[in-house]
Structure 1
Amino acid sequence: MRAESASSKVTRIVITGAGGMTFPLTLIADLLTMPELQGAEVVLHDLSLERAARTARAAQAVADAHARPLQLVVTTDRREALRGATHLLLTFQVGGLAAYRSDTEIPRRYGVDCVAGDTLGPGGIMRFVRSAPAFEDLARDVLELCPEALVLNYTNPMAMNCLYLQHLGLRVVGLCHSVPTSARVIEELLGLDAGKLRYVAAGINHQAWFLTVEAAGKDLRDDLRDVLRARFLPEYGGTTPWTEGDLAYQGGQERVRAELLETFGYFLSESSHHASEYVPFFRRSPESVKAHLPRRWDYLRGSLNVAGQEDALVSATVARLRARLECSGEFGMRVIAALVGGPAANVYVNVRNDGWIANLPGDACVEVSALVNEAGVHPTVVGRLPGGCAGLNLTGIALQTAAVEAVIRRDCAALIGAFALDPLTASLVELPAIRRLASELLAAQATWLPSWLRTQARL
């Protein structure tokens, strides 16, 4: 993926969805740590001027505390934001908490209990579909005003969104922190210091496989398997204890990933909570869920708990960053810095499978490592995944490509068919009920859906 010469234009970084509670601020704080981006113009675009201005005040406070220059523009006008943009970071959600609540609560009434519901399943499909009109509007303006801009997508469902944005003609790379955060979990499980692990991962977003795991030249795959057996698998004397704090999300309750490694031979890139949503093995009854994940982590519940506390959360983040400014580890600003002449970066990217993984379809979105430098973003050719790993990935890819194709074709019936391809939903719900589930979700979210879908679904 080619990059335009760093000297040819001023770096103008647009964050759309800049009114988010803390993530846009995290990205700007990362920028402040990078000398190559000190002269960049940062545009904060959001539908809410108040929320974007809150992010701007917070970012300026952090910059002032560390005497770093920061050029900010705040606007609700997308065309104004995009004019002259060189890089565009997507961090928005369509429908907010109200839409997300129905993403999770309606499927639960049918027995499909997802703790995040943002990648596959009924919730992932709905999140993609209601984002599609916003992507179409955005793409028209990008192609007119800044056609060479590189779009860095952080929004879920990552694979469906990236495939559709590319279909619309944009230069897009998807970014997610699941691979490096899972690498840190492996380090903790093996007792390694942070940054000591060397690894190669590949697959699809939230289901990438750690193909190599080593430190100081030693292959640690058997060590990792043995630790996971002893800690989490009952047949080896392991248990999955009730844990508190961050360990409830990943690291402390990893029976799901331990079972998947025991079966397919490789560790996965998402927490056991997330990983359990993408396969048919672990969430078919409350008893099974409790056995594998005894302390519930639930993103909807967490979102409801912090609703109305946005100002306090932003203030706490500002206080932390004023006390200590360091790069968060997110890939976004590292990618941009490398493209404009900074140090080359090795990152994980989500891109269309243009030969990167030989035994996954060419129209899939895959997650692989990439080298980023002034010449562009260069994904790594992985070759073939182990057969079982590719097979499990294919179950997610089937849903992703079917949903994207349905939206491209403007075909409501095909979209409803995509719901039946979700491995977890199909293991729990018969086809007539899947159709009712899909129709109920469409009716509940009619406000945010594209007009063609409302018409075909008779909403």
Structure 2
Amino acid sequence: MSFKIAIIGAGSVGFTKKLFTDLLCVPEFRDIEVALTDISQHNLDMIRAILEKIVEANGFPVKVTADTDRRRALEGAKYIISCVRVGGLEAYSDDIRIPLKYGIDQCVGDTICAGGILYGQRNIPVILDFCKDIREVAAPGAKFLNYANPMAMNTWAAIEYGKVDTVGLCHGVQHGAEQIAEILGAKSVSELDYICSGINHQTWFIDLRLNGRKIGKDELVAAFEAHPVFSQQEKLRIDVLKRFGVYSTESNGHLSEYLPWYRKRPEEIARWIDMSDWIHGETGGYLRHSTETRNWFETEFPQFLASAAKPIDPAKRSNEHASHILEALETGRVYRGHFNVKNNGVITNLPADAIIESPGFVDRFGINMVSGVTLPEACAATCMASINVQRMSVHAAVSGDIDLLKLAVLHDPLVGAVATPEEVWQMVDEMVVAQARWLPQYAHAVPAAKERLAKSSVKTRDWAGAARRNVRSIEELRAEKSALKKAV
């Protein structure tokens, strides 16, 4: 088979390498073209060198191109994959730093909450530019696979306003299933059957079976509480399981910032998080992790390049959806996964316009969702709170309506649990002014926001958060990796 795949934001080097390697695990895909595009020539040069090393080492006729001209990269592409981070770590640091001044402590801040909403405001105009290019220069009927966060908002905008065939992809479901398989003593995750449904990062294991035997709430709670590691790392998640009756697919740190109950008071946060790794609830944990990962890659690039000169092992293909979806579409080999699409009745008790994450099957006829799913009422209520925020956020991002943006932030569950309306109004002004270069749709609103900030009497504080860690140096990271190797 010979067709073209374009990867936008290919400078996300580690993730692009994984996607590329997965694609080459499909025997029929070894004669494709992969076009890389990014705004950073430096990052493009690095990832192209790595991918070409993989191709050379395996003797495949795959063609790899790299171009900062996005339209040129998208010309004739049948599939387009996006993993962009608009504003990079500079804008992302404001997503964490500024809300902390108003008492809003986020672990990740990339989905909803103050950080996720502003992330969406930066991403959506760019996503719509991608869609325009796809409509104009990509292959007819091209499919857009969005990996970029905020997943639901980006996918919502691409479908409703971009008018492109779009599916959103994430790996939270797979990671949750791996945990459950481990605590239940399964030999592999293949022994587990499950239905997850909800919205991205708030999806729920509503049916769970181990070798055909249905697993109930009490057995799952007992298994998690008996596990020596997960019982400490997933305290909040286990508490939600006890109260809701179903397990959330999302990590302890992620879930903590989507709900109004666990991060509302600084003295309470320590009860529900674990500091053994960023993903369990550390303040700004993903920002620190991303910064360290970037610094490590820049420093250790020669090692990354050398490690690419290895034969591909199809047995080690990852569980990221992209390669499996393309394989099903192109070969007809059926793939089952959990996909982010417009609801349209798939989940009976969520709105038709919402972007939901639920089971579907892929074959030559496309992505075919399993319809008629009904969420437990508490899960639906939690999802609805986020959906309402997402809807307002998307419409604000497209219209440049700063008042609607403020209302979206005001209705966010964690923001509403912590901040007053006056604080929210000032915080949004401050974030829009700080990130103005990435928010062209709000250019008309920035001068008035600056004037309001100059006159404001709302007090803020200099606060690093309830559980903040400093970014580690390359030397510290080397020492830690060395200690781990010795321990193994």
Asked if these proteins are the same fold (TM beyond 0.5), I'd say: yes
Q: Name the amino acid aligned to 2:150.
A: P
CA contact (8 A) 1:355 1:381 kept: yes
Distance 1:72 1:323 in 2: 17
Contact preservation (8 Å) 2:237, 2:247: yes
Give distance in 2, aligned partners of 1:83 and 1:30: 23
Partner of 1:293: 273
CA distance in 2, matches of 1:446, 1:287: 34
In the TM superposition, residue 67 of structure 1 has moved relative to its aligned partner by 3.0
* 1:442 shift after superposition: 0.6
Cα distance, 1:410 vs. partner? 3.1
Deviation digits for residues 260-286 of structure 1, max 9, x if unmatched?
111111000111111101001111223
Shift in Å at residue 308 of structure 1?
A: 3.0
SS for the counterpart of 1:418 is helix
1:228 matched to 2:224? The reply is yes
Q: What are the residue-to-residue correspondences of 1:267-286 with 2, within 5 Å?
A: 267-286=247-266
SS of the residue corresponding to residue 331 of structure 2 reads coil
Give the gaps of 5 or more residues in structure 2. Answer: 279-284, 451-488
User: Is the contact between residue 165 and residue 172 of structure 1 (CA under 8 Å) also seen in structure 2?
Assistant: yes
- Mapped partners of 1:17, 1:144: distance in 2: 19
The size of the alignment, in residue pairs, is 434
Among 284, 305, 309, the residue aligned to 2:292: 305
Q: Residues of 1 paired with 2:206 and 2:349: CA distance? A: 15
2:13 counterpart SS class: coil
1:288 maps to a residue whose letter is E
* Structure 2 counterparts to residues 256-275 of structure 1, below 5 A: 256-275=236-255
**Cα pair distance change 1:317/1:381, threshold 3 Å:** farther
What per-residue deviation string (whole Å, max 9, x for no partner) do you get for residues 167-222 of structure 1? 21111000000001110011112221222211110000011010111111111223
Q: Does 1:454 align with 2:443?
A: yes
CA distance in 2, matches of 1:173, 1:314: 32
Residue of structure 1 equivalent to 2:169: 175
Of 183, 194, 215, the match for 2:188 = 194
CA distance in 2, matches of 1:314, 1:328: 22
Q: Closer, same or farther in 2 for the Cα pair 1:332/1:317, shift >3 Å?
A: farther
The question of whether the paired residues in 2 share the 8 Å contact of 1:62 and 1:318 is answered with no
Residue 155 (structure 1) aligns with: 148
Cα distance in 1 between the residues matched to 2:193 and 2:259:
27
Match of 2:157 among 156, 159, 164: 164
1:339 offset after TM fit, Å?
Answer: 0.8
RMSD of the TM alignment (CA)?
A: 1.9
Aligned mate of 1:330, from 320, 323, 326: 320
Match of residue 69, structure 1, among 61, 65, 73 = 61
Which residue of structure 1 lines up, in the alignment, with residue 114 of structure 2?
122
CA–CA distance in structure 1, aligned partners of residues 103 and 372 of structure 2 = 38
Residue type at the aligned position of 1:123: G
Give the letter for the 1:149 counterpart.
A
Partners of 1:434 and 1:399 lie apart in 2 by: 14
Distance 1:251 1:162, change over 3 A: farther
**2:199 and 2:236 mapped to 1: Cα distance?**
18
Alignment correspondent of 2:36 = 44
Other-structure match for 1:3: none
Distance in 1, matches of 2:111 and 2:182, equals: 26
Aligned to 1:433: 423
Conserved? CA contact 2:21–2:312, under 8 Å:
no
Inter-partner Cα distance in structure 1 for 2:370 and 2:212: 21
How many Å apart are 1:85 and its aligned residue? 0.7
2:360 to 370, 386, 395: 370
Residues of 1 paired with 2:372 and 2:17: CA distance?
34
- Higher mean C-alpha deviation, range 25-34 or range 403-412: 403-412
Contact kept? 2:146, 2:167, Cα under 8 Å: yes
- Sort the Cα spacing of 1:173 and 1:267 in 2 relative to 1 into closer, same or farther, 3 A: same
- SS of aligned partner of 1:355: coil
User: Which of residues 214, 217, 241 in structure 2 aligns to 1:219?
Assistant: 214
Structure 2 counterpart SS, 1:119: coil
Q: Which residue of structure 2 lines up, in the alignment, with residue 83 of structure 1? A: 75
Q: CA deviation at 1:98?
A: 0.3
Contact 1:201 1:210 in 2 (8 A): yes
| SS of residue in 1 equivalent to 2:194 | strand
- DSSP 3-state at the match of 2:257: coil
More moved, 33-42 vs 419-428:
33-42
What amino acid is the match of 1:98?
E
State whether residues 357 and 383 of structure 1, in contact with CA within 8 Å, keep that contact through their aligned partners in structure 2.
yes
Given that 2:337 and 2:361 are in contact with CA atoms closer than 8 Å, whether structure 1 keeps it comes out as yes
| d(CA) in 2 for partners of 1:170, 1:48 | 26
Determine what percentage of the aligned residue pairs are the same residue.
34
Counterpart of 2:94 in structure 1 is 102
**Superposition TM-score, scaled by structure 1 size:** 0.90
1:36, distance to aligned residue in structure 2 (A): 2.1
Change (3 A) 1:270 1:216: same
Paired residue secondary structure (2:183)? helix
Q: Contact 2:5–2:80 (CA<8 Å) still a contact in 1?
A: yes
Q: How has the CA–CA distance of structure 1 residues 286 and 364 changed in structure 2, closer, same or farther, with 3 Å as cutoff?
A: same
Contact 1:32 1:63 in 2 (8 A): no
CA contact (8 A) 2:53 2:305 kept: yes
Match of 2:370 in 1: 380
Which deviations, in whole Å up to 9, do the C-alpha atoms of 1:303-331 show, x marking residues without a partner? 23234332455555555562663211111
Amino acid at match of 2:329: L
